[in-house]
Chains A and B, each alone.
Chain A
Amino acid sequence: MTKIPEVWIFAEQQLGQIEPTVFQLLTRAREIAPRFKVVAVLFETPTQHLAATLAEYGPDKILVVQDPRLAQVADAEQATLLAHLVQRDQPNSFLFGATALGRSLAPRLQAKLQTGLTADCLALHFEDELLVQTKPSYGDNIMCEIVCPDKRPQMATVRPNTFAAQKVEPDRSRPELEVVTDLPWPEVAHFQIIAEKKVATPQTGLSQAKRIIALGRGAADAASKTVARSWAQKIDAQIGVTRPLTDGGGFSVKDQIGQSGQTVAPELLFCLGISGAVQFLSGITNAKVIVAVNPDPQAAIFSVADYGFVGEANGFLTALQQVDQRKQAALK
């Protein structure tokens, strides 16, 4: 009897919170390997109980290692524990989020297992049991398709937010649960975690901001600014402006995006009441997802936007905030 190949996903967590990339990887693994067994590998302390959260994203199995010492654990210790599990179950593939931890841990495990690891993948698919991994090089200017033909597991770290996470219907997810409590603990000498604390993302400048709300002439009225500020606070975004708004009204040249201002590269950019002059567009070429709101359907900003709403910024943003409040309330 041949064993069903397993795709493992390391369920990275920080202080009891599962890293969102894990959900994205679980979703993607189910899509690209419908016939394989998708396994979430979770390290937790006996009091954390994070398996239920993982189950919402439909893994076939959750492999939990529980140990109080996992509260504070060295990279090398985690790598050794994972190596034990891999040697026991021989998975086909092992995926990690390309987070700071994933990128620290996966290569140590790779070295232990003497297998291949592809960094920061943007696309994954299977050809039979061969994992085809696409990774960017040269600052995303080149894509490389990489395979690991002879060694198993096939390992990859995957760039966060590359795939969308999708929960499964609650009654359709009944993952098998295995709790391991008796792995030999690999005491790593010479390493000690002194402190861990949650820190807020530091308020960096516009050029470093992950989320930006940009205001143009069409959103320069007081009402639009107020709703933009409150939305910015909610989603932890910074506010930038086009050149016409730099003359007073609470904004200055340091808030300006564009050729004579700052070049930005946020993951999410709202462009409100901005027509999309060349001077502005040249400053946002590296923005990942752009949402444009403008009453003029012909506005140049729509040609670079991922999502467009033809209308006034104030009304749209107010509606968006209401939706967000309802969703937040529903979560509680």
Chain B
Amino acid sequence: MKIVVCIKQVPESNQVKLDPVTHNLVRQGVAGKINPFDRHAIQAALAIKAQVGGEVIVISMGPADNEYCLREGLAMGADRAILLSARAFAGSDTLATGYTLSQAIRKLGAVELVFFGRQAVDADTGQVGPIVAEFLGWPQLTLASSLTLKDRRLEGMRRLGDLEQTVALTLPAVVTASNDLNQPGYLQPRMIKASFQQEITVWQETDLAADPLRLGVSGSPTVVRKVMAPQRKQQETVFLATDPQQAALDLHAALHAKNLI
């Protein structure tokens, strides 16, 4: 079975700050790494492959140095890696990213299962998986917390708040992996070394038969207008009334309005 896992490279640390003068992002440490949630997706793909055979292909979109996260995927045990990298892809929002990835999956052909992590730890959207499912016209199981494959029928569970859903999908399908789906182990040093011996395929827009208007900035309806440091709310303590009855009444109302009780 041909299984694709779409992964993203994220900054090594989320400890980013804004330069107070230039308002540019200051990232601590220049290194990137695979989005930690994507490791659950790769692990799930490897488990399916162990069951039915086939190959696991990791795909990532981004600049050339994003091959690093692909090598992490290879070190986990993926069979091959494709980097979608071109100027035309720059500035993509989730819609353009989803379109580009879905075109790559079409190009691969005969893909039956596509995995995503639940979301990326930097942008935190979790949107690209369902977008790709929509563009491919496939059913989706988001936030899968369990997964079994019998013949071509995929059965899994997901949590929607207090509701636990058990669903069945026929392949091809898109699955986004929750953290409960599996426990990815640590990379083996040997596998790390081996991943740097492997070739990584690079595809540009010309390789994808893509509509140029749907790529990159032109394919992205959203615009980031401003990047700000979060306003650390000045810790203002609301002192409640000295009478316990009144204090309890006020606090109850306040917490209730915030849906905390």
Contact = CB atoms under 8 A, between A and B. Distances in A.
Contact of A189 (B124, B160, B167, B170): B170
A201 B170 contact: no
B226 interface: yes
Secondary structure class of chain B's binding surface, majority of residues: mixed
B64 interface: no
A5 B162 CA distance: 34
Contact of B239 (A134, A188, A199, A308): A308
Interface string B223-243: 111111111000111111010
B251 A199 contact: no
Interface in A145-194: 145-151, 160-161, 164-166, 188-194
Contact of A116 (B119, B168, B221, B242): B221
Interface in B135-169: 135, 138-140, 142-143, 155, 158-169
Interface residues on B, range: 35 or more
Interface string A112-147: 101111111000000000001011111111111111
A120 B125 CA distance: 7
B134 A201 contact: no
B230 A310 contact: no
Contact of B130 (A107, A115, A147, A303): A107
A79 B134 contact: yes
A76 B174 CA distance: 12
Contacts of A311: 242, 244, 247
B56 interface: no
A137 B221 contact: no
Interface stretch (A61-69, A97-105, A219-227, A249-257): A97-105
Given A114-B221, A308-B237, A309-B247, A119 B124 contact: yes
B95 interface: yes
B252 A119 contact: no
Contact of B225 (A145, A150, A291, A327): A145
B25 interface: yes
B50 interface: no
Given A100-B143, A143-B227, A324-B261, A110 B95 contact: yes
A164 B251 CA distance: 14
Nearest to A304: B235
A160 B245 CA distance: 30
A118 B93 CA distance: 10
Contacts of B110: none
Nearest to B220: A116
B143 A148 contact: no
Given A24-B259, A143-B230, A14 B139 contact: no
A277 interface: no
Contact of A14 (B15, B160, B170, B226): B160
B162 A198 contact: yes
Given A76-B134, A142-B229, A327 B252 contact: yes
A214 B244 CA distance: 19
B260 A161 contact: yes
A70 interface: no
Contacts of A134: 228
Contact of B94 (A117, A144, A316): A117
Size class of the A contact interface (CB-based, 8 Å): 35 or more
Contacts of A324: 252, 261
Contacts of B223: 146-149
A196 interface: yes
Nearest to A134: B228
B248 interface: yes
B222 interface: yes
Nearest to B226: A145
A14 B163 contact: yes
Contacts of B239: 302, 307-310
B52 interface: no
A107 B132 CA distance: 9
Nearest to B257: A164
Interface in B94-113: 94-95, 98
Contact of B237 (A99, A114, A199, A305): A305
Contact of B255 (A114, A150, A166, A268): A268
A138 B133 CA distance: 25
A146 B260 contact: no
A141 B15 contact: yes
Contact of A141 (B134, B161, B230, B240): B230
Contacts of A190: 138-139, 169-171, 173
Interface of B: 11, 14-18, 25, 93-95, 98, 119, 121-131, 133-135, 138-140, 142-143, 155, 158-171, 173, 220-231, 235-240, 242, 244-245, 247-249, 251-252, 254-261
Given A111-B98, A305-B235, A306-B238, 9 more contacts: A100-B158, A141-B16, A141-B17, A142-B228, A145-B227, A192-B168, A193-B165, A195-B166, A211-B260
